Structure 1
Amino acid sequence: REIVDTFRGGNEQRLEDTENLDLVRGEARFTGQKELEVRLDGGEMARISAENVFINVGARPGGVPVDGLDDVPTLDSTTIMELDEVPERLLVLGGGYVGLEFAQMFRRFGSEVAVVQRGSQLLAREDTDIAEAVAEILREDGVEVLLGTEAQSVQQDESGGIELTVNGPNGERALSGSHLLVAAGRPPNTDTLNLEAAGVETDGRGFVEVNERLETSAPGVYALGDVKGGPAFTHVSYNDYQVIEANLLNAGDATIDGRLVPYTVFMDPQLGRVGLGEAEAREQGRDFRVASMPMVHVARALEMDESRGMMKAVVDAGTGEILGCAILGIEGGEIMAMIQIAMMGKLPYTALRDGVFAHPTLAESLNSLFATVDV
């Protein structure tokens, strides 16, 4: 909490100290294309207009359609960080990165943990073999993982416990818990903005639609960060800012077309991912080859006593360029970033296969990984 407050306070102070910048605190809504009405924190109303307007209101933890959910206490990705106790048994709705990070974290704190995932695998965007390896690691850590399982109803018993009824491959079942974490999606904070007045179009879920320069359907109105949909990561939001800065302040021609969007699931060991997976490459009709090996073949991983997971990469069969990778293993995010740099430089996979890396480091695993490409 202290770290968050420090970061937030520092950013606010920099805003307040910026020349020719007014920090207005309140809730805004559009009254025209580039006109806003703001209810200030003190209750007064203010009107603001500008040549350019930037929508950067983010998203919030969402709910799921489960009978009784509104009548029981729940946690989300924000409130679970404020817990001052370790749950005796934590039930997690959702098998995405938020749910999995907290599931493993609280299991290691000492909680019993069960993850309920409606889909057939965890981390729906990942290849099946990667998702299965993630599930195996969580189960080894003592997390109960229920796949193909849908929450039906929930209620609170007389002692304050949570009773969750689910339906899965083996039929209906009751799960008991002390706490319930809902980690199933994040809707955008657009419902009170009156975007229609500005001529700003949204998709069916309320996310603002933008072009490759982040401009909305209303000229001069832009959207950045989670509110425009797509991967909801801090580094994506920062790159959105870089695109806006380049184009509006420096007369550049930056776009978000074709940008690589890396991410890391901060479980232990980490899952680092960038670019295309095998299934996505197949869906796109690409001619590709796959490199894959278990982390148990990585000497440094063995030395550090964490050899769970696997490494996987997809390469273009014609050019040899790396199309994407998923690194599930110790410091997986860092190894992924090394491959991402190679992708940014359009290096062929052979440059990493034949490169000289210090021994014994995790980097030298790239020699072995790309040696598995079936040519």
Structure 2
Amino acid sequence: MTQRFDAIIVGAGQAGPALAGRLTAAGRKVAVVERHLFGGTCVNTGCTPTKTMVASAQAAHLARRGEDFGFSAGNVAVDLARVKARKDGVVSNSRRGIEGWLGGMDGCTVFRGHARFTSPTTISVGEQLLEAPQIFLNVGGRAAFPPMPGLDKVEVLTNTGILGLDVLPRHLVVVGGSYIGLEFGQMFRRFGCEVTIVEKGSRLIGREDEDVSKAVEGILLNEGIKLRLDAECIHFAPHPDGIAVGVDCTSGEREVIGSHVLLAVGRRPNTDDLGLEAAGVAVDPRGYIIVDDQLRTNVPGIWALGDCNGRGAFTHTAYNDFEIVAANLLDDDPRRVSDRTECYALYIDPPLGRVGMSEKAVRASGRKALIGMRPMTRVSRAIEKGDTQGFIKILVDAKTQQFLGASILGVGGDEVVHGILDLIYAKAPASVLQRSVPIHPNVSELLPTVVGELKPLE
């Protein structure tokens, strides 16, 4: 027997529950299908658990630096089982909140199981068949396993598996020098592990400007993390002491022996087992569902939101996908994906906040621009906190005087950068920020000064 609904939402990540709330409030009968854990990547294996553990790592790091602040904490030893228990508690509370919200939502029926298309308007969940004129896919993504020699002969960790550890690794080898790898690398170094980061490229976080990459490398090296860059021909093999990671670098040993290996070399969408071919939904060569500027697929009545559409890989972009869909369907408000400005953070400590265009992207655009920079060594708040690593960099269009982007690496950088983001959305000229009067002492109070020192980007 087919059960009929006004809408079916597949996946209870960041976009799904919020969309269910809006649709049911509008009088729609909604089915939500979730095959695993409510809350998606963010709540279960992404933002919530990792930032909880980052906080534990930062506390341990500061305790070890007690002498710098006038006290002694003695020998600081991390009990990973207790760190894990704290993380698990935060995650379970968040997950239960989402599950309870959906379970008590009037007009919403929750189905647990694996959803597969049987036609453009019908989905099977086990023995049950659901039908609706509107279907929204919010199925997220998972760690990618690219073909690498020997990978099938060893057991490696992903961002999910490493969260389950309750005993500290002796030596964690992180393969991948981007956001996930760097956050876990610094975290476990601060927990007391030996850490080596292996990166195929010539520098870490290759999408960032070179000065950002170099500054991040310095932060990690200062904490005793070993870096192996230009690591071509990465391969794996079992070893009596764990796992041998073979690298062909321009310098250093050709093999790194780790007790544990974290593979952090990218993500892939959870679209390969949805039966998309039965609905005729088009995907790109990497498996991401192709959507237009309003997140509609090529099949009328089917939308894709969140990580599975390749239009963003963050919790905030997934939630904004919900806002775009809801605005277009329910509010007669034609919002578009292309209206949003790229923004994200790298949660090492100190963090990197990024909005808009990088310096490299501005140069590639050929436009005339202005640039302002200030090292954190000249920021009072950073000096007072005992962490002067990093810098502030702001880019402004020379003609319009509107902000193009910013990179803020340093104390509070992940929060401070939102001041620039807000002004980008407001299309406000740089003079607005320059004439503002921020609170002292804060990192944000330096932004007007940086703007006042803008120079042509040459």
- Which TM class, normalised by the smaller chain length? over 0.9
Residue 391 (structure 2) aligned to one of 310, 313, 320: 310
Q: CA deviation at 1:274?
A: 0.8
Q: Is the 8 A contact 1:104 1:143 kept in 2?
A: yes
Which residue of structure 1 aligns with residue 344 of structure 2? 263
Q: Is the 8 A contact 2:350 2:410 kept in 1?
A: yes
Deviations 1:16-47 (A, max 9, x none): 111111101111111211221222xxxxx111
Q: Secondary structure at the match of 1:216?
A: coil
Q: CA deviation at 1:231?
A: 3.0
Structure 1: tracts of 5 or more residues without a match? 40-44
Q: Secondary structure at the match of 1:359?
A: coil
Q: Is the 8 A contact 1:277 1:313 kept in 2?
A: no
Q: Distance in 1 between matches of 2:247 and 2:443?
A: 42
Which residue of structure 2 aligns with residue 146 of structure 1? 228
Residue 137 (structure 1) aligned to one of 219, 237, 251: 219
Deviations 1:182-220 (A, max 9, x none): 011110000111212212111110000111110011111
Residue 432 (structure 2) aligned to one of 334, 351, 357: 351
Q: Distance in 2 between matches of 1:310 and 1:59?
A: 33
Q: Distance in 2 between matches of 1:117 and 1:80?
A: 19
Change (3 A) 1:135 1:231: farther
Deviations 1:31-69 (A, max 9, x none): 211221222xxxxx1111111000110000111322111
Q: Distance in 1 between matches of 2:233 and 2:146?
A: 9
Supply the AA of the counterpart residue of 1:212: D
Q: Is the 8 A contact 1:292 1:313 kept in 2?
A: yes
Residue 115 (structure 1) aligned to one of 188, 197, 205: 197
Supply the AA of the counterpart residue of 1:329: G
Identical columns (%):
41
Q: CA deviation at 1:151?
A: 4.7
Which residue of structure 1 aligns with residue 97 of structure 2? 10
Q: Secondary structure at the match of 2:353?
A: strand
Normalising by structure 1, we get a TM-score of 0.95
Q: Distance in 1 between matches of 2:234 and 2:336?
A: 43
Q: Distance in 1 between matches of 2:451 and 2:228?
A: 34
Deviations 1:226-247 (A, max 9, x none): 0001331111111111111111
Which residue of structure 2 aligns with residue 88 of structure 1? 170
Q: CA deviation at 1:148?
A: 1.4
Which residue of structure 2 aligns with residue 226 of structure 1? 307
Which residue of structure 1 aligns with residue 412 of structure 2? 331
Q: Is the 8 A contact 1:67 1:154 kept in 2?
A: yes
Q: Secondary structure at the match of 1:318?
A: coil
Q: Secondary structure at the match of 1:239?
A: helix
Q: Secondary structure at the match of 2:325?
A: helix
Q: Is the 8 A contact 2:239 2:257 kept in 1?
A: no
Q: CA deviation at 1:300?
A: 1.2
Which residue of structure 2 aligns with residue 100 of structure 1? 182
RMSD over aligned Cα atoms: 1.4
Q: Is the 8 A contact 1:116 1:151 kept in 2?
A: no
Which residue of structure 2 aligns with residue 61 of structure 1? 143
Q: Is the 8 A contact 1:295 1:311 kept in 2?
A: yes
Which residue of structure 2 aligns with residue 288 of structure 1? 369
Which residue of structure 2 aligns with residue 42 of structure 1? none
Supply the AA of the counterpart residue of 1:99: G
Which residue of structure 1 aligns with residue 129 of structure 2? 47
State how many pairs are aligned. 369
Q: CA deviation at 1:172?
A: 6.4
Q: Distance in 2 between matches of 1:88 and 1:203?
A: 40
Q: Distance in 2 between matches of 1:150 and 1:187?
A: 22
Matched, 1:38 2:125: yes
- Which one has the bigger helix percentage? 2
Structure 2: tracts of 5 or more residues without a match? 1-87
Q: CA deviation at 1:279?
A: 0.7
Supply the AA of the counterpart residue of 1:22: T
Supply the AA of the counterpart residue of 2:256: L
Residue 358 (structure 2) aligned to one of 277, 284, 308: 277
Q: Distance in 1 between matches of 2:91 and 2:216?
A: 29
Supply the AA of the counterpart residue of 2:455: D
